[in-house]
Structure 1
Amino acid sequence: MSYLGKYLKMPPTFEMLQNLEEVIEKEGYSLGDLSLCLQVEFSPYEMTPYDVIPFANIGCDGIHYGFLTDFGMVSDLENAFIVCISPMDFDAPIKIVARNIREFVSLVCTMKDATTISNINLIKEEEQYISLFKELKKEIDEENEEQANYVVEKIRSTIGCKIIENVYNYVEKEIMTAREQQTILSTLDGIGIVSLGSMNRKHIKYKLEKDMEIKLEDVKSFFNSATTESKLAFIRDAQFTYIISDKIELKEWIINEMVKLGLNDEAGRLMKI
């Protein structure tokens, strides 16, 4: 699993899901009954953040879930925030949906459908969550629900996850608050940048927006005096606005800068996109 980089292997909860999949498949069920397809290969999209390691997808529209490593700052993938990437949702393709993989599994069990979780990317108000759950109840198919309930109970008994009583409160308040407490710079994708220890230095942002024309020389000048956190914020925003993928010269330069910062794993992922 070279795409895992320094992490070498998937965390325990992922391995438990893999083992469970083998067991329930013999009984005629699958995690796919919850639209949860585990993946052990790096299948990047232009919108997949370079410091996100995908571990599951829903089997359509390129929607996938991954571990947010914060450019390698996370020491254990078991404790990494979980990000939903929905490439076709151009206005809101990325959102943090869980505090860690165990809570992500709890969210899947609560929603009984990993596909539905991707809808969270597009909403943030409590009324929208209420409407989403009302629509879900209307679309319930008895046969599919029976299969989903069986798989959910198997997951809960195996992993010990809980049902989330208030999904809106969990995602929009608990998760967002926890993330905001970690970050010192905001980014266009909503993920932000955590502190890397650049004490007593001012973090300045290079303001970017979609379809913006930038000069490589200006970016180089910015990097000459920017903190590491500011550089990473630029990289996030430049990816989110497709500036990196649209400009080959900038992409090659960014790869070299990432290597200088010791971000070999992330640079390797960028090279594959």
Structure 2
Amino acid sequence: MLSRGGAGSPPSAEPAAGRLEEAELYRPLTINFGSLALPPTLRLLQRWNESLGDSETFYGLFGFYLQTGGFRYANTPCDAVVFGSTGMDGIHFALLTDFGRSADLEQAPVICVSPMEFDDPSTVIARNLREFLSYGEQDWALFYNVFADERQWRSFQEKSAREQAESQWRRSDEEESRLGALRKQFLAEAGLSAMADGWTNLQAVRLERAERRSIPTADSLGVIEPAEPGWNGTLPPLGRDTSPDESELEPWLRQAPRHARLAAIRLLQHHGLSPALAALLADELQALGLGEDALRLLFE
């Protein structure tokens, strides 16, 4: 059985101290990506981050700090590969593998994880990384705020623009010009165009996601694994105020179809896991052939 803290443990024949330190240094990166290759667009971001030599300029261009190692929260989906964080309230961005169905991370959907938003911490915000980078700075607030409708969103934009113009911390005209030039340079190098309407695009992305789900879950991601015929559609009673009985959950997992088991795992992680429950679900992921997801689930 896998257990917390045991994921990725070194072999019993202890390597030399230098090699062990190097292994520990790269362990978070290894667990985050597993056997998946870094997508070309993420490699481009890494090159820009290195050439700029300034994380704040990178943030000004893209709205996040590059994070490809051990940046995870308890409710970060175990099938998500983290690539960036905003530096606020633990909010971070990740590529969703959909439990192994999106092995090409260049094509994987992008999600925003807001750990403090307990009702709906994870939402899809782009079809892929390239689309995510096409959003403009004026759209970034869409990722981690909830707006009832477009009117409320447009009102928020207008208010934010006024406050920014009056702020003593606003950028200078020179800095705005510099970032604008860098932004155009990046879009040209990446072969991207600036998105015309972030609100409309985001609504389309989320509608497409909802239509693809075979089972919806509380975090709005759902599961896109094809549904197996003959299943009655019933998940065990799971919720923030409902602590599952492991003695009942384990036999349910053994008899449930694959897509239902994945939905239960997503829902349980959404509400938080005890160490014993995390170990049980990690074993289930292993049995489903999702060992890398199991390691992410257990990573601390």
TM-score of Structure 1 vs Structure 2, range by shorter chain = 0.7 to 0.9
Deviation at 1:179, TM superposition (A): 1.3
Q: 162-171 vs 63-72, which deviates more?
A: 162-171
Once the two structures are superposed, residues 108-163 of structure 1 have per-residue CA deviations (whole angstroms, 9 ceiling, x without a partner) of xx12575x34434x235212221232133121434253343233212212112222
* Aligned match of 2:121: 93
| Residue 221 (1) aligns with residue 251 (2) | yes
Equivalent residue runs for 1:48-127 within 5 Å: 48-107=76-135, 110-111=136-137, 114=140, 116-120=141-145, 122-127=146-151
Equivalent residue runs for 1:70-219 within 5 Å: 70-107=98-135, 110-111=136-137, 114=140, 116-120=141-145, 122-138=146-162, 139-140=164-165, 141-143=170-172, 145-172=176-203, 174-196=204-226, 199-202=228-231, 203-219=233-249
Distance in structure 1 (CA, Å) of the matches to 2:181 and 2:230: 54
The one-letter amino acid of 1:168's match is W
**Is this contact kept in 2: 1:112–1:152, CA < 8 A?**
no
User: Compared with structure 1, are the counterparts of its residues 119 and 252 closer, same or farther at alpha carbon in structure 2 (3 Å cutoff)?
Assistant: closer
Unaligned runs of 5+ in 1: none
User: Compared with structure 1, are the counterparts of its residues 213 and 159 closer, same or farther at alpha carbon in structure 2 (3 Å cutoff)?
Assistant: same
Aligned with 2:72: secondary structure? coil
The one-letter amino acid of 2:257's match is T
| Residue 257 (1) aligns with residue 284 (2) | yes
**Is this contact kept in 2: 1:51–1:72, CA < 8 A?**
yes
What is the TM-score when the length of structure 2 is the normalising length? 0.80
User: Compared with structure 1, are the counterparts of its residues 85 and 147 closer, same or farther at alpha carbon in structure 2 (3 Å cutoff)?
Assistant: farther
Deviation at 1:248, TM superposition (A): 2.6
The one-letter amino acid of 1:119's match is Y
Aligned with 1:185: secondary structure? coil
Deviation at 1:24, TM superposition (A): 3.5
Distance in structure 1 (CA, Å) of the matches to 2:237 and 2:158: 40
Distance in structure 2 (CA, Å) of the matches to 1:185 and 1:137: 39
Q: Which has the larger radius of gyration?
A: 2
**Is this contact kept in 2: 1:184–1:192, CA < 8 A?**
yes
**Is this contact kept in 2: 1:83–1:94, CA < 8 A?**
yes
**Is this contact kept in 1: 2:120–2:220, CA < 8 A?**
no
Aligned with 2:34: secondary structure? helix
Distance in structure 2 (CA, Å) of the matches to 1:124 and 1:80: 27
Deviation at 1:175, TM superposition (A): 0.3
Aligned with 1:194: secondary structure? coil
Aligned with 1:184: secondary structure? coil
Deviation at 1:254, TM superposition (A): 1.3
* Aligned match of 2:12: none
**Is this contact kept in 2: 1:210–1:241, CA < 8 A?**
yes
Once the two structures are superposed, residues 228-258 of structure 1 have per-residue CA deviations (whole angstroms, 9 ceiling, x without a partner) of 110011111111111x2xx332222111111
* Aligned match of 2:6: none
What is the TM-score when the length of structure 1 is the normalising length? 0.87
User: Compared with structure 1, are the counterparts of its residues 255 and 56 closer, same or farther at alpha carbon in structure 2 (3 Å cutoff)?
Assistant: same
Once the two structures are superposed, residues 147-193 of structure 1 have per-residue CA deviations (whole angstroms, 9 ceiling, x without a partner) of 43233212212112222222221111x10122123211001100010
Unaligned runs of 5+ in 2: 1-28
How much identity, in percent, do the aligned residues show?
26
User: Compared with structure 1, are the counterparts of its residues 93 and 146 closer, same or farther at alpha carbon in structure 2 (3 Å cutoff)?
Assistant: farther
Distance in structure 2 (CA, Å) of the matches to 1:59 and 1:10: 23
Distance in structure 2 (CA, Å) of the matches to 1:227 and 1:97: 29
Aligned with 2:158: secondary structure? helix
Q: How many residues align?
A: 262
